[in-house]
Amino acid sequence: MSLTDTGIHSDTLVSDRYGARQPIGFRVDPAGVVPLLLAHRSVRAFDPTPIADEVIDTLIASAQSASTSSNLQSWSVIVVRDPARKAEAAALAGEQQFIADAPVFLVFVADWARGVDIARRRGEASVGIEYLDSTLVATIDAALAAQNAVVAAESLGLGAVYVGAVRNNPEQLSELLGLPDATYPVVGVAIGRPAESGRARVKPRLPQSVVRHDERYRAAAAEDLEGYDRVLRSFNESHGRSGGWLESVIARVRSRSALHGRDALRSVLDKRGLPSA
């Protein structure tokens, strides 16, 4: 299928994603998945219309269709629709009102509690979950599942935004959601029909020359980083925000204060039975 057949222009898709014309190849798949992925944008303003049960079922089925390490399926998802619980989750996750406003808030959880329970029923130990790789396996599984759910939601005309701030207060959020030991919240996803005010433009990404490394890693060229900084600064200004990309990176890596409490995550994991040794 050609770009002409679909009515999709590669120049538009690529320039929106990179914020400038990029000298890269581009091919549209017959199913239209590639354009859907390139058109992803975060939505933070939602129509209050509830999401039908069958849509939630579809999102979870899509999440479960993601790859999972050794078919262990070491993740779970909490579907939060109760207004009071969403409001409390919003308060714990950086006071982000859109979480309360969204019809549904999905919290994807790294879950070894199920494995521990299975081992206990058979009279077996569960020492294997105490190591870093086990924490990574469950975390990656949860993240892959969340990505599938978001792609499915967008294919159904819904909007979504990831919420890493579920890790700001993981102990309190775990209590709110009834999470057992050997679990922790990895990422939240607010989902709903985009309100008119929530139809943000596609945010430009780094040029491929920065993130793509053929055969061996090489440091990014300063001019590529500075060029992207100008592109994102212009994008932010068009949305009434200030600042560029470079200062955001510096703010994140400069000190622990930018972690908003997540610097304590290792000790929280230890308390919750995931010491990540």
* pLDDT beneath 50, residues of the chain: 1-8
Residues 155, 75 contacting (CB under 8 angstroms): no
* Rounded-to-integer distance, Cα 243 and Cα 163, Å: 21
pTM, two decimal places: 0.92
Provide the 3-class DSSP secondary structure of residue 129: helix
pLDDT for position 4: 34
Domains and CATH numbers, the chain: 1-39 (no CATH), 53-198 (3.40.109.10)
Structure token digits, residue 22: 């990029």
The model's pLDDT over 208-221, given as tens digits with 9 standing for 90+, comes to 999 999 999 999 99
pLDDT for position 198: 56
Phi-psi region of 194 (alpha: psi -120 to 50; beta: other; left: phi over 0): beta
pLDDT for position 21: 67
* Rounded-to-integer distance, Cα 138 and Cα 140, Å: 6
Mean pLDDT over the full length of the chain: 92
